[in-house]
Amino acid sequence: MKLVGEGFHWDELTIGDRFQTFGRTITETDIVNFVNSVGMLESLFVDAEYRAAHSAIPGRPSPAALTLSLAEGLVLNATAQGTGLAFLHMEMNVEAPVLQGDTIHVEIEVTEIRPAKKGGRGLVRTRNRIVNQRGETIITYTPLRLMAGRGDGKDAS
């Protein structure tokens, strides 16, 4: 029986494959919950008066770490559910702010695929662009993931 929503296996992908996730709107609740749960109580995120007087960014910004986390949720649910084994490395460049009310999606391009040392598994690197509703690139990052191969599932444990 086919498992609905299962992600890609490393050996089903080819360099140059491209995908786009669904979108997600960043809400005030997202920002408040994130900054409180991780202790990122920087005035820029928790003090509206400070932000109005001192911020170079108009509106309520989302921490880049929150934006990346939400983007990863979109990516994993779309491409690696049940097949992603480990997040190993990334480089990241923040290019523009995300504000409360912005809607993001992720555009993914496969840039590297190679077998891992353990049989049946593979390493997959992608170039991910987090893009807002205006088509502006917000963050670019290049995750390297360990992924299960196609097979009987024994390699994914």
pLDDT tens per residue across span 133-157? 999 999 999 999 999 998 745 444 4
The answer to whether 110 touches 28, Cβ cutoff 8 Å, is no
Instruction: For 52-111, write each residue's pLDDT tens digit.
Output: 999 998 899 999 999 999 999 999 999 999 999 999 999 999 999 999 999 999 999 999
Q: What are phi and psi of 56, to 5 degrees?
A: -85, -5
For residue 54 the two structure tokens come to 């001192």
Q: What is the pLDDT of residue 152?
A: 46
Instruction: For 6-29, write each residue's pLDDT tens digit.
Output: 899 999 999 999 999 999 999 999
User: Positive or negative CA dihedral for 14, 3, 147, 22?
Assistant: positive
**Structure-token match 């049946």, residue found:** 120
Ranges of beta strands (E only) in 78-143 are 84-89, 92-94, 98-99, 103-115, 121-131, 137-141
| CA–CA separation, 152 and 50 (whole Å) | 56
For residue 87 the two structure tokens come to 């997040």
To 10 degrees, what angle do helices 28-38 and 64-79 make? 110
Instruction: For 32-66, write each residue's pLDDT tens digit.
Output: 999 999 999 999 999 999 999 999 988 999 999 99
Residue type for 78, please? A
| Farthest CA pair distance, the chain | 59
